[in-house]
Amino acid sequence: MVLGRAQESCSGHSRPTEAIVDLDRIGHNVTYLKSFLATGVALMAVVKADAYGHGALRVSKAALNAGAEWLGVALAEEAVELREAGIAAPILILGPSHDRQMDWAVRHGVDLTVFDEQHLLWAKMAAKRHRTRARIHLKLDTGMGRVGLIWDRLSKAWIEALADPDLHWIGLSTHFSASDTDPGATKTQLARFLDAIEYLRGQGALPSEIHAANSAAIMQYPGAHFTMVRAGIAVYGLKPYSQAVGLEPALKWRSEVAYIKVVGQDFAVGYAGTFRTAEAMQLLSVPVGYADGYRRGWSNVSDVLIGGHRYPVAGRVSMDQITVAVPLGIAVRVGDPVVLLGRDGEEEISAEELAGHIDSISYEVVTGIGKRVPRRYRGD
């Protein structure tokens, strides 16, 4: 039983580095986003990539409790995980699926995105195997220039193919390329989508769900809401465009001071000595590194919060550790909390701020928080 004890003593993540997700804030953000919608417009909470790093199952439950009607994922695998955990709400796979993924999706009653004849064949085969109908959404490319059938290639042949008895045509969708920054491009895409909708209406072939808006479009373009909207980043309280207000960031990434030493002037810190102390100071070690998603690009540029004050990351970010420079005379102790992302008193380090250091976006910061960082939950 010695081994059993060893396992026990190592379980439960003794390292203090963790991400704390406030599920009440997820609920607040869903409620807030719903306030932009006319009655009858459904909200899909997009929980792909483990709910943007926040934890798909817990976030899904919180979002559904707060009034989201649908869930969106990127992969069949993500949808199956939710179904197997007991989530019964409609789930749409937003990205393309190959034949095996379609089989899993159809078996679990998950909606598929299609935009190619090959997709229809695979969906029909899966439906026949499982003696059911495959639930599908046709995706149009109205200017994103990524996946989707080019909007003006919709045809009678497509409408006939979608009327196949093995298929249940649920939805029509498109995706904006710049609803956060470019109203002109968004209006062009919207006009193309409206053309496609008019064409289908004229053919008496409009499916029941029409959806286009991501977070930035939900908050800025009511004309893009149709019957359903797809909210990702805003569910997590991160700004979908720079002027956005009213959202509450749900995730806090924290650790603790693991070690402190006092050093003199001109002391070299970390790999290659890229930081040298200008005067005597305290160097704090914090157990988080690029293997946890604390990006090496934040070396010598990001700050952390201790006791509600900002202190700089000194030297290179290592795989498992960072060093923080704190002036002499500031009282710090081993075990003091360190906020890497989130609020501490009056100060806040936002995902947008961290993204700005590396020419990135908040999406990449939160989805990049590694598996080694346990997620803990508050609220709900």
Ligand X SMILES: *Cc1c(COP(=O)(O)O)cnc(C)c1O
Q: By beta-carbon distance, which residue lies closest to ligand X?
A: 232
Shortest separation between residue 270's beta carbon and ligand X, angstroms: 35
Query: Which residues, 6 or more positions from 44, have their beta carbon under 8 angstroms from its beta carbon?
Result: 68, 69, 70, 71, 72, 92, 211, 228, 229, 230, 231
For ligand X, the closer CB: 46 or 339: 46
Active site residues: 48, 271
- The residues of the shown chain that bind ligand X, judged by CB under 6 A, are 46, 48, 94, 175, 214-215, 230-234, 240
Shortest separation between residue 9's beta carbon and ligand X, angstroms: 40
For ligand X, the closer CB: 287 or 356: 356
Shortest separation between residue 361's beta carbon and ligand X, angstroms: 9
For ligand X, the closer CB: 94 or 286: 94
For ligand X, the closer CB: 46 or 75: 46
Shortest separation between residue 112's beta carbon and ligand X, angstroms: 13
Shortest separation between residue 156's beta carbon and ligand X, angstroms: 26
For ligand X, the closer CB: 48 or 252: 48
Shortest separation between residue 228's beta carbon and ligand X, angstroms: 11
For ligand X, the closer CB: 25 or 230: 230
Under 8 Å between Cβ of 219 and 240: yes
